[in-house]
Amino acid sequence: MQLIECVPNFSEGQDLNLIRQITNEIEAVEGVRLLNVDPGKATNRTVVTFVGAPGPVIEAAFRAIRKAGELIDMSKHKGEHPRMGATDVCPLIPIANISMEETAAWAQQLAERVGKELQLPVYLYEAAQPNKTRSNLSVIRAGEYEGFFKKLKDPVWKPDFGPGEFDAKRGATVIGARDFLVAYNINLNTTSTRRANAIAFDVREAGRNVVENGVKVNQPGTLKSVKAIGWYIEEYGVAQISMNLTNINITPVHIAFDEVCNKAATRGIRVTGSELVGLVPLKAMLDAGKFFLRKQQRSTGVSEKELIKIAVKSMGLDELAPFKPEERIIEYLLKDQSDSKLVRMTLEDFANETASESPAPGGGSVSAYVGALGISLATMVANLSSHKRGWDDRWEEFSNWAEKGEQLKNELLQLVDEDTRAFNRIMTAMGLPKSTEEEKAARSKAMMDATRYAIEVPFKVMQAAYSSMDIIRAMTINGNPNSVSDAGVGALCARTAVMGAYMNVKINAAGFADQNYTTEMLNKAAAIAVKTRAMEDEIIALVDQCISGNA
């Protein structure tokens, strides 16, 4: 399924009832999911984020632009953020299975419809704008709403769609297609807009113009793919560096934060915190957490939740308002909670569900969970070893082991629910009708596909649990000797996970029609089982030897 994200910015951030009327238009479109609504009082601007297939997203965007034009009077609008219309900007961002070129075509389609049906001046920007001399948003918006009447008289600034006439109430709008952008504000312990702007010019890619030997030259800033300005936010009583990070692969959030801290310090100013506007990708938060842990020479092999907590605290993302990951991280908003029903249970609920008369979760899910516990113990040993007094020069070695352990733990946890879904697919296939030859053929194919899947899932458990043995062995030999018994228990869990999953591979393969496939999978599984038992024996012997030596 093709997915695009739409992030319209509306020039209203104070009247929540008005904002709700606009977002109601979006939510009324089937196939669109509203992810986030982020109003700002001082900027008098609301950033809305929604996703869906291209057609529904375009329809929702059109309705929202229409409603915003009805409700917002730009002749009365005041706010800190640059703006030129009721719907100031409406970007489309490719998310899944769609190219930038395709996304740009959808943006052009939306812009044409808005210009024609709403009689609103529309400019294209970024990837949707074929004329690259006017594709930059800041250039299009220069002069803002107040200068728009004069700008429209210049033939160079004829709108791409819609009338070339000044609309005093609605202004104009800019529609385009771009990569994922992170809007990010950094808080300063000053009220001076001039000083905030000086720091913004220090870091933004465009830098500042300076005079050298009587000639005006550009002095670039230190951060690529960053746009920035300084402003004073009366609501908070502080100045901010307002940034757009246009490519977080080039300049991630944590690098932008750190660089502003450095540049502010040279001017006698402190950074007190920051805020994200709208949504952020999960990777950006995880990378930030690891960055700040590495600066402390601490292990980065900790849970996703802990990495996010470190990122929030390190960048002060909760200074102005609580930062709720479930509401601000895009992957969390898109996640179907039913996909992780089992791993979200308490230990007691999981045991009760397993013990109930329901056939799932069964041995496959339990094997995956036991494997997750095994590698978790090894990861614990790695983290303890990383922070052991006197082992400071080895922290990175153990941090790397812990990171590998975290990856395997997450994979095995995902397979807990995946195994139950595999069982449910077989049950669904068995329940298909079989009255006609066509229905019988369809049911037979569904059974084949579901059974193959039910073989592959526990085989993945075997592979992941066996892979964890390398980490467990390393922690047995090199880890904190006081935790060697924990590594030993981890080995027992990993062995149980492999052998339990092996049973599931064999029982699901029994009677499977494709004998070549079955033979291949059973041979591979048998080889993993043999190597696992040998590894377990070695690790347990090492554990016993270490314990005996310490006795």
Query: What pLDDT digit, counting tens, does each position of 315-347 carry?
Result: 999 999 999 999 889 888 877 766 778 888 999
Mean pLDDT of 171-177: 95
At the topology level, CATH places domain 3-177 in Formiminotransferase-cyclodeaminase; Chain B, domain 1 (3.30.990)
**Of 388, 393, 551, which Cα lies nearest the Cα of 479?**
388
Do the Cβ atoms of 522 and 514 come closer than 8 Å?
A: no
**pLDDT tens-place string over residues 364-406:** 999 999 999 999 999 999 999 998 988 989 999 999 999 999 9
CATH of segment(s) 337-550: 1.20.120.680
How far, in Å, CA of 157 to CA of 63, rounded?
A: 26
Q: Which of 38, 81, 160, 417 is catalytic?
A: 81
Q: What is the mean pLDDT of the chain?
A: 93
**Length of the chain counted residue by residue:** 551
Q: Indicate the pLDDT class of residue 551, thresholds 50, 70 and 90.
A: low
266 contact partners, CB below 8 Å, separation of at least 6: none
Percent of the chain scoring above 90 in pLDDT: 77
Do the Cβ atoms of 462 and 473 come closer than 8 Å?
A: no
**pLDDT tens-place string over residues 216-252:** 999 999 999 999 999 999 889 999 999 999 889 899 9
How far, in Å, CA of 109 to CA of 125, rounded?
A: 13
Mean pLDDT of 433-452: 91
Q: Which of 160, 258, 287, 419 is catalytic?
A: 419
Do the Cβ atoms of 50 and 32 come closer than 8 Å?
A: yes
Mean pLDDT of 501-522: 92
pLDDT at 483 over 90: yes
Q: 182-334: which CATH architecture? A: 2-Layer Sandwich (3.30)
16 contact partners, CB below 8 Å, separation of at least 6: 39
Do the Cβ atoms of 374 and 497 come closer than 8 Å?
A: yes
Q: Which residues pair with 122 in a beta bridge?
A: 161, 173
Known active-site residue 349: no
Do the Cβ atoms of 148 and 173 come closer than 8 Å?
A: no
Per-residue model confidence (pLDDT) at position 212: 86
**pLDDT tens-place string over residues 267-303:** 999 999 999 988 888 999 999 999 999 999 999 999 9
45 contact partners, CB below 8 Å, separation of at least 6: 9, 10, 11, 12, 13, 39, 79, 81, 83, 88
**pLDDT tens-place string over residues 99-152:** 999 999 999 999 999 999 999 999 999 999 999 888 988 889 988 888 888 888
**Of 320, 321, 300, which Cα lies nearest the Cα of 311?**
300
How far, in Å, CA of 254 to CA of 156, rounded?
A: 39
**Of 506, 490, 486, 501, which Cα lies nearest the Cα of 546?**
486
Per-residue model confidence (pLDDT) at position 512: 86
Per-residue model confidence (pLDDT) at position 211: 87
Q: Where are the domains of the chain?
A: 3-177, 182-334, 337-550
520 contact partners, CB below 8 Å, separation of at least 6: none
**Of 244, 257, 344, which Cα lies nearest the Cα of 292?**
257
**Sign of the four-CA dihedral 16, 20, 22, 26:** positive
Known active-site residue 254: no
Percent of the chain scoring above 70 in pLDDT: 99
How far, in Å, CA of 364 to CA of 464, rounded?
A: 13
Per-residue model confidence (pLDDT) at position 550: 66
CA-atom Rg of the chain in angstroms: 29
